[in-house]
Each structure stands twice: as C-alpha cells, then as structure tokens.
Chain A
Amino acid sequence: MARDPKYDILFEPIQLGPKTLKNRFYQVPHCIGAGSEKPGFQAYHRGMKAEGGWGACCTEYCSIHPESDDTSRVSARIWDEGDVRNLAAMCDKLHEHGALAGIELWYGGPHAPCMESRATPRGPSQIASDFELNIFPRYMDQDDIDTVQQMYVDAALRARDAGFDIVYVYGAHAYLPFQFLSPFYNRRTDKYGGSFENRARFWRESLIKVREAVGDDCAIASRFAVDHLLGPTSIEVGEDGIRFVEYCDDVVDLWDFTVGDIAEWGQNAGPSRFFEENHEAPYTGQIKAGDHTNKPVVGVGRITNPDTMVAIIKSGQYDIIGAARPSISDPFLPNKIDEGRLDDIRECIGCNQCISRWEIGGPPMVCTQNATAGEEYRRGWHPEKFHKADNADKGVLIVGAGPAGMECAMVLGKRGMSAVHLVEAEKEIGGSVNWISQLGHSDGKENLFRGTARGLGEWKRIVNYRQIQLDKLRNVEVHTNSRLTAQDVLEYGAEIVVIATGCHFATDGMNAATHEPIPGADTSLDWQLTPDQVVAGSKKIGKRVLVLENEAYYMGASVAQKLAGEGHEVSLLTQAGDIASYMEYTLEAPMLHRDLHRLGVGIHPYTMVERLEQGVAHAYNVWNPEHKEQFEIDSVVLCTARISNDELYRELKSDKARLEQEGIEAVYVIGGAAAPRMIVDSIFDGHRLAREIDSPHPEMPLPFIRERRLWGETSNDDYLQQLQAASDVASPV
C-alpha cells in the first residue's frame, strides 16, 4: 500500500547545518550495551534502523576521555584510533542506507565513577554525585576547563574522521556542561559561576570550540534538558531553560530536548505505567512553539502513533520525531508508515526492559516486543526478514498462546512452515499478559509528580501486535477455548510439538527466600490470594491486606498499588532490602514509591512471613529471626514462587515410543512452562526456538558471535611495549 498523504510531512527532508536529514525520523542517542567494544553489535543494531527508514541514528553517550568512564554501565568511547575504527563501522552501515550518523560526546563529571580507568573526574564544584556512591569531582580551574574543552575538540575531530555527520556536545541528564549551567551543581564565584551568562559560559565555549573544529563538516547538536524538574534550585524551562536555548541558538545546528536528569531519568524515558505518549510536551513543547529558537528541534516521548507525529510537527512542538524505545521496538517504523502498513507497527509497550539491562551494567539490550533487538549481529536476526525453514514441510502444534507461544507461532509462520496450529485453553490468546495488563493503576486520578498511575494497560500491545500478525498468516491457525490433553496432542498429527503452557503462582507460599512453603499458606482459602486471583476479582478482599512480595519485580508492588487505590489498608512485605528492586533498573521505582507513599502503603523490607493464620500474619526480620512482628489482617496476597505448568510436557516425554508411533519427531518446551521468567525472556525463548527450528538440535541455542579480544591479537603490541619499557627501571632503593 502507498503512504497516506497526511503523513507526507514526516518524509520531508530538513537541513541540519551542512547535512540534510532525509526525513523526520531520528533515533536519538540511546544505550544498547555495545559501546565501542562491540562494534558488530553497534553497527548492525543502528544499521537495522537505517534500513528501516530512520533518517539518522546516533551512538549512545560516547565518552571523550578516560576521565569520563561509566563502567560497569556501557558507554561508547572515542578515546583513540581503535575507537574510531570500531565506530566507523556503525557510520558505514548507516551511510549504506542514506542515514546520518550522530555521536553524543560525553563527559560525566562526578556521575562517571571511573572504575575501569581509575581516573579522577573533574567538575565545576566539589559536590559529590547525587546518585553515585561517594564520587567527588576535582574542582576545575581555568587550566582544567581548557583541558576538558580540548578533550571535546579532540574527540570531535576523531568523530569526524570516523564518519559521523552529527556531533553532539551532550549536557542533558546533568552531565558536565549542564553541571556548569545548573546552580544545583555549580557554586563557583569566577566567570564560570553565578550569573546565567557565567554558568552558561562553559557549554557555549565548548560548542564554539567543537564548531570551529568540525562545524564545516558536521552538524553541531546539543542535547539539553529544558527543565531539570527540581524547581528553582536548578534549571526551569520558563527561566534558564528558554534563556539557554536563546543564548546558544547561534552555535548549534540542532537542538535535542529532554527533561530531568540521569538520577531519575525515568522522567525522560518514561515507563508506560506512569507516562503516556508525548509526555514531555508541557516542557519541551514550549521552546519552538514559543519562538525561542530558529534551529531544528528533535524531541522524544515514546511516540509510536503517526498521527501524533504529524500533530507534533504541525503544532510546532518539534521539527523531527525523536525516538529511542519506539525505534528499538520497531526498527522499521518509518518504512511501515511510508508503505501504509500501520497495522504492522510493533509499538513499544513502555516496560523499559531495554533500559534495565543497560542499568544492570554489562548485558546487551533486550526488547519485550522485538526479540531481535540486540541480536542483529551476534545471531544474525532481522526483525522483518525470515529464512524459509529447511523443515518447512513439518506440521507444528504449539500448545498455549501466551507470550512465548504467540511469538513462536508467529515466527514459525513467517518462516513459511506449512502448518502451524496455536491452540489456547482460554477464550482469548495472550496468556498471563491478559491479566497482568490490568495491574498497576491505582485510583488513576491524582497526579504523581509528572505522571499518573496509568497501569500496565499498554502491555496489552504484546498481544495486539501478535494477534494482528497471526491473523495475517495463512499458514497459522489459532484455536482458542480448547484445552488439550496429552492424548489430544499425541493424536493431533503434528510432527513438531511445542509446549508453551506457562506457569502459575505457588498456592502454598513456596518462595525463594526460605525454599519452603509458608506454614498456613493456602490460596484455596477465601482470605488468601495469588495475584491473578486479585485481578480475577472472584474473592472478596478484606479491609486490611498483607502483600508478600518475593520476586523483586512489579508483581507485589502492583497488587499493593491496585488494592490501596481501591481503599484497602495494605502492608507490603519483602525479605529483600527494598520492594520491587528490579524496577530500579526499569526506572519505574521512583514513581512507584511516590504512588505507594501517596496511597499509604506500609512498606516492610527485610521482613518475611513465618506463618499465616486467619486474622494474623506472623513475620520476622531476616537479620534477626527472633525479632517478630505480627500483622493483623483480613486478607493476604502471596506473590511468591511461580511454578511451571509442565505436566503436559512431562507426560508427553514420558513415553517416547508412543511419540514415535504417533509420528511426533520432537517435543519442545518454551517460556514459563520451561522455567518462570520475565515476559521479555519468554518471548525471546519462543522466538529463538522458531528461528532455530531447523537447526541440528533446536532445543539447544546455536552459538552466537562473541565480540571479544582474541589472545595473540597484535593491535595493541606497540603500546604494550611502550608501557613495559617505561616501567623497566631498577629497584628504587
């Protein structure tokens, strides 16, 4: 189909200084865990987006010098010629598809702990980072300022040589240039502190120096948080925010606007449970619309709807639609709009799993919606292209249409299997997503700082996308309301059987803390519930509710939020040091805590339930089991262990002769039925099996390319010799 003319505006080119951006789709800098040390990952991931139509793609934050080292979190680095070579691979990939390559030059100041380089970061004032532990910067005198600005210039020159078209001086998220600008960090009394012009001086000078160095060849961009969201103690959009844009408008070719900082960057990368599409507009929208800049503006807000994109450009909010997460979830979003295939767009669900792995430090980025994200190079997966399976003549039965089963069926369908039957016991496909997506909203009204407790409704997009794709696949049949027994499966006539029957919550309080059930726990009783029973609403829940959360992610907290929003008095217990600790990584935790606090949920860390009896829960402190605590309760919700629904799989495997007799060549188990896990990993599991269904041993993942330095490489030998020669001195006696 052809593009709807109303979207033409999204495909108009726009000039960025000396460069032309071919359309209005722009992948803003975002982390993926590749940096400069996994050049294949970096090049193929960004290159995939260029293939999918994005007009420009940027690196993640890219350190200009070992003094800005964020280890264990993975940044890009452009410290030397080796980095130039590795990042040039990314530039080449982008240029192959006519996209521009951007690099986000970064100096973190005290926010970069330098654990690998062991360097000392410099900063405008000697104030420790507000979120790193005890990292103090060295106060910068004029020589230091000159030195660091020269680092920017040197890095920019290397970036140009690598082939980058857009060079950022990155300040947003409270890194060094912003630290100079903001009185929250800057307490100087010299010409770099005090007045607005003084505080802005470092950033402006840096921009000018970089511009002088590479401005003829590259577009100069700056990423700026127009509001720090800290009130008058820092940058507010109506004050220094607008002022700074006007002050530096002449020295940039492109503005990239955000809000907030890195300490709570969930205000920028807003999770869907608190923020809706284009949520930064109240701040970032003021600049262009208020006529405070003459330069092109890009901005984000998890924008996946092409109508929203058009409205944003027409209203003068942005000129260019920026995206990080939507581009991960669907690298082909621009092409799909261009081709009129809107219903094929794989919309970001805002779960922030992509961010979580980077936050953990080390693992590659993942995506719930797009299992191929991060796998473009190392596994050779393409989100839109599928090789015909060598065993496409086989018939496949997939039992269970949860995340893993849906994904597996979809990918097998796209791989051209002759017949795929996806059979689901419930009335609708989607599995656990169908009830999980009803969690997480509280009363849904009162504003929480900037967001609202919207809940996990957008997670339903997991099902929406797959349902639409499955509907289109003529070789896939989906049958619901059909619970298959082992006998049914044996007689189904499939050569390949995939069991994707999911998992369930323990009914007896079995948990990861004690590895035992909790005495008195029994969710068949009317006053005890598993989380899915809370959503189902089939049991009356009393006024005082104890929620025991044992899985460190969203479940316990979401249940507490829901119940407290409905007027229950909720105590939330965890054996860990904090509830929902994984939500720190998904950036949901700060807003979650605000909501739980607002709702009066009592949070009890390091507390475990010892036994339950009707009316009272007996608990203890995990550091001193003699320290008992009793909770008077009417109901209890046990978010404890999950257990695979693997009876069907076990029964099928128990009689191999029968399998053979029925012509069943293989039985696989995926997702929660194999082992309970996060949705993102269940979908990956289903995808992986389908991608490798024709490998010699599909149950065993094929090896992936590991980008690591091989012993015997000679590229660093010269430097090594230099180091060894320099250290070769007599004993200092």
Chain B
Amino acid sequence: MQKSAMNPATAPIVPRESVQKKRQRRLHFFLHVGLIIYFFLTLLPFIWTFLTSLKKSRDVAAAPLKLFFEPTLDNYRAVLFNQYSDDSALARVRVDIPGSFLNSLIIAGGATILALILGNLAAFALARYKMPEREVYAFFFLAFRFAPVFVFIIPMFLIYQQIHLYNTYIGLILIFQVIAIPLIVWVMRSFYETIPAELFDSASLDGASRMQQLREIALPLAAPGLAATAVLAFIACWNNFVFPFLLGAKATQTITLATITFIGYEEVAWGMMTAAAIVTIVPELILAMLVQRHIVRGLTYGAVKE
C-alpha cells in the first residue's frame, strides 16, 4: 500500500477531493472483488445442489463429473408429486416429500401459533409491568436456549411413549415450545419496550383493560416485529432436526428428516436428495426475505436492534 502517497499532508499538489475519490474508488473495486468471491463461494453449494438436482442418476454418478449434461426434471417429479421414473437407479427409494412438507407445515405452524399466543402475553407483561422478579422469568426462558435439546429429548422419549404423544403432531408441537417460546418472549419483549409508556397510560385512563391495551395498542404497533418474530420461530422449528427425528416416526416425518432418508447404507440418492433440499429451503428463503428488516433483532433475541 502506498500510504504516504495517499496522505493529503505529503501530497499537497493534488487537490484533496480527487485523491480521496480515487482512493475510495480503488477501495470499492477491491471490496467488490472480495465480496463477489465470497458470495460465489457461499452460493456455490446451492448452485451445485441445484445442478445436481437436475441430473439423471447416471449423470450424478458419472466420474469424472459432468459439467454439461442433459437436464431433467425427474427428480422434482419424484420429490414434488411422488412420480418415480424408471430411469432412477434408486427407484426403490421412496420418500414421501409432499407428505413430509405438509407435516412440517402443521408442526412448525402449530408450534409457532401456540408459542405466539403464550409468548406474547409474557413478553407484554415483561415489557410493561415492573414485577420485581421479572429478570428471573426472562433468564428462566433464556436458560432453555442454552440447554442441549437432548436433555429434554431423552426423558421425553420415555414419557411420550407412556402418554401416547410419541409420533403425534401434538407431541411435537409441545416439544417445539422449547425453541419457540424463549425466542418469542425475548424478541417481542424488546419490541414492546420501544412503545412509549404514555400510550398505555392514557389508554388506561380511558378505561382500557390490560388485554385491550395489548390487543389494540401493543400488537398493532409491533405488528412488523411480530411478523418477523413469527417467521423466525417458524423457521427455527422447520429447520429443527432432532425433535422429529427422535420423538416422531413415519406419521410425523418432517421435511428435514425426509431429506436425510435419501442417504442409504449403500448408496445415496443424490439427485432426489438435492431436489428435496431445494424444496426445503426455497419457502424459507421467501419468508426470510419478507422480514429481512427485523432479522438481526430476532436472531439475537432482541439484544441487537435495528
């Protein structure tokens, strides 16, 4: 780096403005190059996954690999509509992706709705009312965030079989509260705290009940945050692997679980697996893009605000 040449003090002849502009343009050029390399590397796995999902099974298995091949939608036909072609060397691999997709929707959706109902009340109370022990509550919820999920799964595995919640939607929706409630309580609390207290005070003077204050002031004002939090809770449940893996079976098989079943002991159905991976990720990305603005706050439990 030619630091001295860029330093305005040692280069008084050149007008300062233009030196700075030049310097900035050069910096930006290198930054663009760096960022494009980074994003190429980051997106490469997805690009490669997508390409693999368009390959016929003999092209997937080809060694050395084929960069150019005749694309096919067979894998998507199998994964989206359960239509298996004869071409597939792994025609015996049958995974019900549409069914798993629906299971994931029911379980992650149900868990999010339940956690929203329960969590919002708590978040509002924590933000609004000065219970002396409120930090204890907050920490109690957070403690679930840093406990290994297996400390719940192992006992739950036995309990659920006893009380017949094993491999049921309800059982999984309940256990997903481990993830969803702490997230919603912490993030929504931070949103509710940004609402000026005077709004509630004056509503209170007008005779609005606490529930009315929550429904008519807090919820509408925090609506964008609420949507973002709900999306993040949904994604966290959708992405989870271990709960449905160990507390569910065929009847509740979620999409993440279904994707991994393409890995057999002898061979891997790469084409279908990659197609299933794409099907798993795309809906999430669409949801995430919609709530991009509040994602930092949601991901950090309200610790970092935008």
A binds B: no
B→A interface (CB under 8 Å): none
